A and B are shown apart, each in its own frame.
Chain A
Amino acid sequence: MARDVPLPPDDELVERLRGGDEAAFGLVLDRWSPSMLRLARSFVSTNATAEEVVQDAWLAVIQGIARFEGRASLKTWVFRILVNTAKARGTKESRALPFSSLLPEDEWPAVDPSRFQRAGDPHPGHWNPGQQPQPWMLPETAALNTEVRAVLVEALTALPDRHRIVVTLRDVEGYSSDEVCDMLNISPGNQRVILHRARAAVRTRLESYFTSAAAQHQDAP
């Protein structure tokens, strides 16, 4: 809805927020709350708790905006407050998500190992004939395609929480590796392992969608 209108640049936005400009506050509130709700939901157990987390985070933003130093972007600062609020709430719910170490769920191969030749085959570790990835028939408007969107949402929902959090911050929200490591207090190496696993899972889901879409296209008269 309001997504199409670009937000004013950070310095202007911050000045207006500090000056009590309610329209400016409404703008960022409406623009960022949906992402914040989805992200918070990965840290806590219910939608209702996620709403409380987002509200608490915004209250902290209102109280803290005078102290915002502009070292990160305003959005990064707001999301860092959200992540901290959500983490604290998750811990209280005994639902703390460990980011400091890797878990077994982080270490599966990115591509099903059965698609590669085994020891003893002519080219061990290389793609099996017939198992290579095929180029996707990606329509120009794929980003807007409702079906593709549904596949993406489903793929993200199916991810383990930590994986969904990392890939959402990196690829959906567009934060850099450094920003995500800072927000989650995770090492760059572990962040990359989790991101790779998450992207690989989404790619695999898209691959099976595009493969079946291409097969249907071929079957059509």
Chain B
Amino acid sequence: MTCFELAELVTAYLDGALDERSETLLVVHLDGCPACRTLLDQHRQTIRLLGPAAPTAASTTTLAPAYREALLTAFRDAPR
């Protein structure tokens, strides 16, 4: 397996979706290739940084108060 090929398989590897042979080839490659270990690590860091705390908190998107009120009213008036 080359570094170029490994770079395309990172997500499948992290999802546990590789067949046994590809996974073995990938793990063996990683063992001998610090640059690809860094690439894999950066994918993990990317996933962690994307996680709930990051972009969500940066955005100010909220439901307009009028919609919020209308929904609370709809909830109050719903038949149950």
Residues of chain A having any CB pair with chain B under 8 Å? 3, 18-20, 22, 25-26, 29-30, 33-35, 37-38, 51, 54-55, 58-59, 62-63, 66, 109-111, 113, 116, 123-127, 132-136, 138, 142-144, 146, 148-150, 152-153, 156, 167, 171-174, 177, 188, 192, 195-196, 199-200, 202-203, 206-207
Contacts and interface: CB of A to CB of B under 8 A. Distances in A.
Given A20-B80, A152-B49, A62 B10 contact: no
B15 A38 contact: no
Contacts of A143: 48-49, 51, 53-54
A123 B29 CA distance: 14
Contact of B2 (A25, A125, A148, A207): A125
B11 A34 contact: no
A141 to B, nearest CB: 11
Interface in B15-73: 15, 17, 33-36, 38-39, 41-43, 45-59, 61-64, 67-68, 70-72
Contacts of A149: 54-55, 57-58
Contact of A33 (B11, B36, B51, B63): B63
Given A113-B4, A116-B3, A172-B56, A199 B11 contact: yes
Nearest to A195: B11
B11 A192 contact: yes
Given A18-B80, A62-B75, A116-B2, A54 B11 contact: no
Interface residues of B, number: 49
A206 B46 contact: yes
20 contacts: A26-B72, A33-B63, A35-B56, A37-B63, A55-B70, A58-B71, A62-B74, A63-B78, A110-B10, A111-B39, A116-B4, A126-B3, A135-B41, A136-B45, A142-B49, A149-B58, A195-B11, A196-B11, A202-B46, A206-B46
Contact of A172 (B8, B41, B52): B52
A54 B61 CA distance: 12
B71 A59 contact: yes
A134 B47 contact: no
Name the prevailing secondary structure of the B interface residues: helix
Contacts of B76: 20, 22
Interface of B: 2-5, 7-8, 10-12, 15, 17, 33-36, 38-39, 41-43, 45-59, 61-64, 67-68, 70-72, 74-76, 78, 80
